[in-house]
Amino acid sequence: MKRRGKNLVEATEPEVLDLVVRGGRVVTPDGVQAAELGILHGKIVRLAPEVTDPTHTELDAAGRYVFPGIVDAHVHFNEPGRTEWEGLAHGSLALAAGGGTCFFDMPLNSEPPVLDAAALRVKRELAEQQSCVDFALWGGLVPGNLDKLAGLRDAGAIGLKAFMSNSGIDSFPRVDAKSLYEGMKRAAKLGLLVAVHAEDDALAAKFTAEQQAKGRHDAKAWLASRPVEVELGAIRQALEFAGETGCALHVVHVSSPEGVALITEARAQRVDVTAETCSHYLLLNDKDVAKLGAPAKCAPPIRDEKRRLALWQELRAGHIQTVGSDHSPSPPEMKTAKNFFEIWGGIAGVQHGFQLLMNECAATADQDLPRLAAVLARNVARRFRIDDRKGLLAEGRDADFTLVEFGPKRTIKADDLWTRHRISPYVGRANRTRVTHTYVRGCPVWADGGVASGSPKGQFLRPTHT
């Protein structure tokens, strides 16, 4: 009798939670609410105005927003092969310092590039050792690797990335129209999404030659060499191919409202396409590029102020589905050439880009943070089919979150950067946003504005294929 009684008590006793996040304002795409999170074994098991279950530890979030862990679908961490450009350890920590809990690494800047299953496994193993946040890996689509795509899918690639213009990496050639079309046909059969860097190579070459014939190689000439029509021509072609092949298409780093409009129109015609823009297109304009120089060089280039503001409108209208960092650093010596055309094109924004987006919304946080929670987390997880675990603060999901507060303005300094090289277009910029904590599966990676001890090792994520 006694033993039975004891078992009965144990069965009804609630399990002690690992952690309760107290007193914060929880952000979801539906709005901001005063709520608490109860966490057990790395999952959110309670989300309620008050969590009363017993708990081992508590985290005080009073006066802060509890924002979903950011899922950055677009980074170049350059490992293996070019670890001295960034590397998985530096890159993942800088992401966590900026509120990120998950990244998707692009296939091209590593050596070997991820063009088959074997290369994906090599990178996976490294990231499992080096990354402090969870991750997924892109495979590449290049001329001649069609018969490797099934292997990449089976190895867990999150999608395939193709360049419609020169990638800047010799071992990752651009796709010609035929190989893109064939690749998308194959990808559609395999249930793989294809992401494109959409710039028309021939047009870019033509405008570049025009600038160089004039003897111009400054930042303004670079901007003039890649006008919006270079992007639009390539987006049109990719949309046409997506419509014909039925392949899921993700247009990365759309830099112009005109590009977003093309994608919105195609979506209305039931083309399976999503638009990504990047934090720098929402934060910087062409005048900033002329002023900042090399740290603000990227392709497609940063546009004028009118377009920057129009992109914010498109984002608030729900026409931009995701925002990534396109974090693409290089060693300092590749950022110093006198000829702007020869400087490495890539912006290192993984740490400050997303928090500066929040900063832009500080005055309208309760309206705008939910929109950011959609484009930085929920929509990304959904599009790439990891939403059974990621992207949303909800019961049953991984306990990935970041605590954010708005304080007095502070100037971003090079010393604040956790990237390998302390180069960023945001150094010198005023920022009210503080990312005080970032937790991955219930474990702190970033705490009290510094690196947390005992950080978790990153877990590999693959899309759920239904």
Shortest Å distance, C-beta 16 to Zn ion? 44
Shortest Å distance, C-beta 280 to Zn ion? 11
- Report the distance separating Cα 329 and Cα 308, nearest Å: 23
Shortest Å distance, C-beta 250 to Zn ion? 12
Q: Which is nearer to Zn ion, 44 or 260 (CB)?
A: 260
Q: Strands 401-411 and 194-197: what pairing?
A: unpaired
- Report the distance separating Cα 332 and Cα 432, nearest Å: 28
Total number of residues that touch Zn ion (CB under 5 A): 1
Shortest Å distance, C-beta 108 to Zn ion? 8
Contacts to Zn ion from residues 269-328, by CB under 5 A: 326
Shortest Å distance, C-beta 328 to Zn ion? 5
Shortest Å distance, C-beta 76 to Zn ion? 6
Q: Which is nearer to Zn ion, 280 or 397 (CB)?
A: 280
Q: Which is nearer to Zn ion, 238 or 393 (CB)?
A: 238
Q: Calculate the CA dihedral of residues 414, 419, 422, 428 and round it to 10 degrees.
A: -40
Shortest Å distance, C-beta 253 to Zn ion? 6
Shortest Å distance, C-beta 90 to Zn ion? 17
Shortest Å distance, C-beta 293 to Zn ion? 20
Q: Which is nearer to Zn ion, 47 or 115 (CB)?
A: 115
CB 102 within 8 A of CB 143: no
Residue with tokens 């360049």: 163
Q: Which is nearer to Zn ion, 21 or 320 (CB)?
A: 320
Type of residue numbered 164: M
79 binds Zn ion (CB under 5 A): no
Q: Which is nearer to Zn ion, 42 or 107 (CB)?
A: 107
Q: Which residue is nearest to Zn ion (CB)?
A: 326
Q: Which residues contact 28 (CB under 8 A, 6 or more apart)?
A: 68, 370, 373, 378, 392, 393, 394
Q: Which of 179, 11, 99 is nearest to 377 (CA)?
A: 99
Give the contact letters, 326-355, x = binds to Zn ion (CB under 5 A), - = no: x-----------------------------
- Report the distance separating Cα 305 and Cα 288, nearest Å: 10
Q: Which is nearer to Zn ion, 17 or 289 (CB)?
A: 289
Shortest Å distance, C-beta 29 to Zn ion? 25
Q: Which is nearer to Zn ion, 200 or 326 (CB)?
A: 326
163: its two tokens = 């360049």
Residue with tokens 């675990």: 389
Q: Which is nearer to Zn ion, 79 or 326 (CB)?
A: 326
Q: Which is nearer to Zn ion, 65 or 85 (CB)?
A: 85
Q: Which is nearer to Zn ion, 326 or 398 (CB)?
A: 326
- C-alpha torsion sign, points 25, 27, 33, 36: negative
Shortest Å distance, C-beta 326 to Zn ion? 4
Give the residues lining the site for Zn ion (CB under 5 A): 326
